[in-house]
Amino acid sequence: MKNSEQRIIDGLNEEQREVVTAQRQNILVLAGAGTGKTRVLVSRIAYLVEHCGVDSNRILAVTFTNKAAREMRERLIGLLGEYSVRRLWAYTFHTASSHILRNFAEEAGLTRNFTIIDTSDQLALVKRVMQDLNLPADICVNGIRYNSRNYLQKIMDEKSRGHRPGMEGSSILPCFYDVYALYQTRCDKSDQVDFEELILRTCELIESNPQVRHYIRLKFQEILVDEFQDTSSLQYRWLKLVSGIENLDPGKHPANVLIVGDDDQSIYGWRGAAVENMFYFQKEFSPVKLVKLVQNYRSTKAILSNANSLIKNNSKHVAEKTLITRNPDATMVKLMESYDSSDEADEIAKIIRKLIDNLKKDPSEIAVLYRTNAQSRMIEKAMVEYGVDYNIYGGARFFDREEIKNTLAYLRLIVNPEDNISFNRIVNVPSRKIGKVTLGKIEALRREFGISMFKAAEMYALKNKSRSLQNFIELIHVFSARVAESPKNMDDIVRFLESVIEDSGLGTYYREKSAMDDADSSNDRFGNIEELISDISGRDYDELSDQGFDNAGEVLEDGKEISKSRNTDDNSVPENKKMKYTIADFIQIYLSSAALMPSSELLKSEEDSAVNLMTIHCSKGLEFEVVIIAGFEKGLLPLERYSSIKTDQNAHIEEERRLAYVAITRAKELLFLSCANWHSSYDGQYPTGPSPFTYELDSCSIDTDMNFLDA
């Protein structure tokens, strides 16, 4: 029988074992595509617990997606057991920040029931702020039109740089800092936090509060960060603060930090990712052990040969590396050239038809990748003509559907009556005939007294006979009282949710809407609400306990008590001291989870056996037996539209080359690179031709022979 260490390292290659069994120190793992980094991370955590004596409750693993965190937990259960894994912190930056802020809510200027608002709610708030500042919905500056989305993006950009409204710089957007300041004031008064605020406020909390900083420093002994090349400057600042390398208390040692990343796969510069963070880490966390993972377990030699040949043309590398594989070489990479984009779409559909019919390929293992969403239109049309089932990976989130957002808005208002966005969303859903005049008067009261919309509505209802408004207020009061109760089991929560849906009128409203929809409609509105209830009741709420900070080994040296808002961990508190979770606690965890589900984790499909269509950005982290890259041509890859913007054009080309590299390395067995010589647009056709990246590929492992498809 294998001992525990052998069980952990069994099957790992030499470089992987070097990472897993390294002494406790700062480590940079340069992990190429398909080199098994997830297995290395999981094995490293198991090794720290089993052989280095690290309590799993002292380990923080930071991933970029909830899916990756779940996968990590699932793999660890097999190595460590459920108890240890339940105590482990394996979260995204945003979720980890949410847990820290809820534990130290008072110190952060929040309540434990603060609401996390998603992009659509942020946009609604910005629109209202602009209206209140008498700014038009569309503003023209130097012939360019800007709207609320531009203001929201700029606010998020400022936050990602750690800038508050008072730290004024320059902006082409008129009255931008007035919009930003009022937006943030409204969020603070409503006890609401947006995505970037989660991270920024956590940074500010640790920087400004010595007790919290000391407490967190004691909490985490080992920190592991996945996909480090995608971190922003604010996330890097967060890591330095949480690890203790920044503002370290005298005589204290920082946590050991292991980062895993691939500078060749850094493709999110447009949203703040800074590949430079990998270079900063080597300097600021020195000494740092560097280990390169280059053994690829995914792709054929022909595919990797082209990936290596392409990416070596970039000048900025943390360290040189060349991916290798022991996979048997198979078909060469195929280059396809069509007359125009319409012909290209037909060729792609025709090839997929042959892959399915002749080579018996599973449709779900085929992906068509493209640089821009606009490219999918012709491809979809061709798919229909050739009878190929397909799914668009990257459609609307389940949580963005109208009926789901309205149901969640009721729950948000019930647990946080200060939530103005939710009040405005559902006060008239279903219709209560509360007119614009009434809502305008409530809004006026809100402004005059600086209170929430719900409190203003209560004030208005005292002096005005609006039975429908009074009924709405009473409904929220009744359910706000009920959420303070402790459920005996999940059935109690289900019954509560069903009461909210029926008593609010949402049930009847969406049953009628579902009945009115076309028979062929795939969107069963009430069915979606039922699915939501099922999801809430089926969740693993162990997160309720492991989001806390336990007392074991963490008593402050000066004996001072941290805020009473801090939750304690079930595992460390005597049975008679355990907190009784309320319905509100369960709902709050779910609401946070829903809000923190990013666009990269959208519902993948409604058809399991269907070809996947997606942008290259959406494909990051995925793999398929067959990959077809559409539009591998001039103007699309690299994308030309940014060339007129005053930016570092070489940096842009290098990121586009990394994007092409990511697309190529998604393929396991077959890779097709497709281009058109002419591209159609609203103003006619213009010549394109092969991407300049084509001439950087390995010509010895590319051909145009498609005869194998007719086998």
Q: What share of the chain is helix, strand, coil (3-state, %, to 5)?
A: 50, 15, 35
Closest alpha carbon to 500 in 558, 415, 575, 386: 415
35 is catalytic: no
- Residues 16, 37, 115, 122: which is the catalytic one? 37
CB of 404 closer than 8 Å to CB of 529 = yes
Catalytic residue among 7, 18, 21, 38: 38
Q: How far is 527 from 534, CA to CA, in rounded Å?
A: 10
Give the ranges where 483-582 is alpha helix by DSSP (H).
490-503, 506-516, 525-538, 543-546
Angle at Cα 298 formed by Cα 65 and Cα 610, nearest 5°? 70
Rounded CA separation 356/389 (Å): 11
HEC profile of 468-504: HHHHHHHHHHHHHHHCCCCCCCHHHHHHHHHHHHHHC
Cα separation, 72 vs 422, in Å, equals 34
β-bridge partners, 191: none
CA atoms within 13 Å, Cβ hemisphere of 410: 27
The candidate with the shortest Cα–Cα distance to 588, out of 548, 643, 543, is 543
Tokens of 44: 């490293």
521 burial class (0-12, 13-18, 19+ CB within 10 angstroms)?
A: exposed
- The torsion region of residue 387 among left (phi > 0), alpha (psi -120 to 50) and beta comes to left
What stretch of H or E contains 460? helix 453-463
Catalytic residue among 219, 604, 666, 668: 666
Cα–Cα distance, 71 to 76 (Å, whole number): 9
> Among candidates 109, 133, 149, which has minimal Cα distance to 181?
133
How many whole angstroms separate alpha carbon 29 and alpha carbon 44? 12
- Residue 38 falls in the annotated catalytic set: yes
Residue 525 known to be catalytic: no
Residue 290 has a CB neighbour count (10 Å cut-off) of: 11
Say which of 226, 403, 418, 458 is annotated catalytic. 226
Q: Which one-letter DSSP state was computed for residue 636? A: B
Three-point CA angle 235, 195, 375, nearest 5°: 95
Residue 343 is a catalytic residue: no
Positive/negative CA dihedral, 482, 487, 493, 495: negative
Q: Name the active-site residue from 121, 222, 227, 403.
A: 227
Q: Which residues pair with 289 in a beta bridge?
A: 27
- Is residue 339 a contact partner of residue 677, using CB atoms and an 8 Å limit? yes
Catalytic-role residue among 265, 325, 588, 688: 265
User: Among all residues, which ones are annotated catalytic?
Assistant: 37-38, 226-227, 265, 666
